Amino acid sequence: MKPRDYDLNALWMPFTANRQFKGAPRLLVSAKDMHYTAEDGRKILDGTAGLWCVNAGHCRTPIVEAIKRQAETLDYSPLFQMGHPGEFRAAGLVAALAPEGLEHVFFVNSGSEAVDTALKIALAYQRARGEGHRNVLIGRERGYHGVGFGGMSVGGIPANRKAFGNMLGRVDHLPHTHNIDHNAFSRGQPAWGAHLAEDLETRIVALHDASNIAAVIVEAVAGSAGVLVPPKGYLEKLRAICDRHGLLLIFDEVITGFGRTGRAFAAETFGVVPDMITFAKGVTSATVPMGGVIVRREIYDTVVNDAPPGMVELFHGYTYSGHPLAAAAAEATLALYHEEKLFDRARETAPYFENALHALKGVRNVIDVRNFGLMAAIELEPAPGRPGARGFAAFLQCFERGVMTRATGDIIALSPPLIITRAQIDELIGTIDKVLRNLD
Ligand SMILES: Cc1ncc(COP(=O)(O)O)c(C=O)c1O
């Protein structure tokens, strides 16, 4: 291993135990297809697609080439009051993958920005249609919607909220759907829990009055809190209640978008169509940051037609919205998904993944295994008095044995690139099995 020619100290790492990491760093220096290479030359099998994002696999040649070509041709152009062809093409390709009726795409640079943008569009829409009093936003416990003040407020992960004081004031939360007593070791959607959606009507609408509520945002499958799969019938109920009361329904598909559930979007997989979809990560297979919101036609028309001719309609956007490199990466990524039929491949691989995962039932400390498409969680009994320690130890030992997983508390989360083979699934789960059997 070459000596490092840099210091670790200057960088404040996000969502990281900085002191632990800097004492025993895990550095990745290159990647190809299903593998990272660590600085000591070891190959690491990527069981998490980076951070749920490298859906096409690493350093795929057509995407790399498209980014290079774009960087040589048009490095940057603003999207305020002008544009470039690539971002219009990319928007068309994304919209074509979305359910019928979701036709317009607003580009941003991350999932957090996508969520805050969707919440702002919801408020702007309600105002434009003369319902400006609808300004309460509804999220869900254990939801993760990024780290902006909007996403943090509708999100429901206590650690992500507790240090940050002021949040959006007019927010409420649905109960989460995770219940090991009822649903442990469910394969796919759990049978129990659809009734939890009724809280939207019986408590939240009853408390705030529908006339004050703008929108409800949920992850189609909650990812970061540990892969919480919606119970059968749950999303359908949410949709019906939103329709009854004129509430917009937003699916945060930052993780579930672009093949993770075996279709372009989870909305299609579940057959439930929201009014907006937020996306990021897989749109460029994470090669260049990009995110966005796909919006139902009526929402776009209402906001856009509400402004006087020649005037800006939505005072919102980012310097890098629709960045040319991101747009080029998106075009190439979406073409690659199509050519290699990677969404179908994910759907076909999912049952093998499911069987391999559920073989972990009965392994020491495993209290639940759950899965949907190519996402999964293995939940461990927390070590007494040390919540999270067992999950983190499992993550570290997997990494040492050449397999990348993600620990969220005592839950090991998996979301491999859609190109994973059966042999690689065996290696991934086999390594986790060995690690868990040897963990304290
Ligand atoms: C559902 C969901 N929404 C939003 C985000 C935030 O995305 P980003 O980290 O790109 O801001 C994430 C990130 O994992 C996510 O899983």
Q: Which tokens in the block code for residue 197? A: 């959606």
The pLDDT assigned to 55 comes to 98
Which alpha helices (H) appear in 375-417, and where do they start and end?
389-400
Considering the domain architecture, whether residues 304 and 370 belong to the same structural domain is answered as no
Give me the number of domains the chain comprises: 2
Considering the domain architecture, whether residues 296 and 359 belong to the same structural domain is answered as no
Considering the domain architecture, whether residues 352 and 291 belong to the same structural domain is answered as no
Ligand 1 centroid from CA 40, angstroms:
30
Q: For residue 12, is it within any domain?
A: no
Instruction: Give the residue numbers spanning the domain of 38.
Output: 18-56+341-438
The pLDDT assigned to 337 comes to 98
Q: pLDDT tens digits for 357-374?
A: 999 999 999 999 999 999
Q: For residue 318, is it within any domain?
A: yes
Which stretches of the chain score pLDDT less than 70? none
Considering the domain architecture, whether residues 79 and 120 belong to the same structural domain is answered as yes
Q: Measured between alpha carbons, how far apart are the two ends of the chain, in Å?
A: 31
Q: For residue 6, is it within any domain?
A: no
Considering the domain architecture, whether residues 367 and 331 belong to the same structural domain is answered as no
The pLDDT assigned to 12 comes to 98
Ligand 1 centroid from CA 154, angstroms:
13
Of 339, 357, 376, which residue sits at a domain end?
Answer: 339
Of 278, 304, 339, which residue sits at a domain end?
Answer: 339
Predicted model pTM: 0.98
148: number of Cβ within 10 Å: 18
User: Which amino acid, one-letter code, is at 196?
Assistant: L
The helices-and-strands tally (H runs, E runs) of the chain is 17, 15
Of 307, 339, 371, which residue sits at a domain end?
Answer: 339
Q: For residue 5, is it within any domain?
A: no
Protein residues whose CB sits closer than 6 Å to any atom of ligand 1 = 110-112, 115, 144-146, 219, 223-224, 252, 254-255, 280
Ligand 1 centroid from CA 351, angstroms:
26
The pLDDT assigned to 3 comes to 82
Which atom belonging to ligand 1 lies closest to the Cα atom of 114? 4
Considering the domain architecture, whether residues 333 and 345 belong to the same structural domain is answered as no
Ligand 1 centroid from CA 226, angstroms:
13
In a mutational test of the pocket of ligand 1, which residue from 16, 51, 115, 154 has the highest number of ligand atoms less than 8 Å from its CB? 115
Ligand 1 centroid from CA 204, angstroms:
25
Which atom belonging to ligand 1 lies closest to the Cα atom of 289? 10
Q: pLDDT tens digits for 161-190?
A: 999 988 999 999 999 999 999 999 999 999
The CATH number given to whatever domain includes residue 376 is: 3.90.1150.10
**Per-residue DSSP letters for 89-124?**
HHHHHHHHHSPTTEEEEEEESSHHHHHHHHHHHHHH
The CATH number given to whatever domain includes residue 140 is: 3.40.640.10
Q: For residue 432, is it within any domain?
A: yes
Considering the domain architecture, whether residues 297 and 346 belong to the same structural domain is answered as no
Q: How far apart are CA 125 and CA 326, in angstroms?
A: 27
Q: Which tokens in the block code for residue 405? A: 């997983």
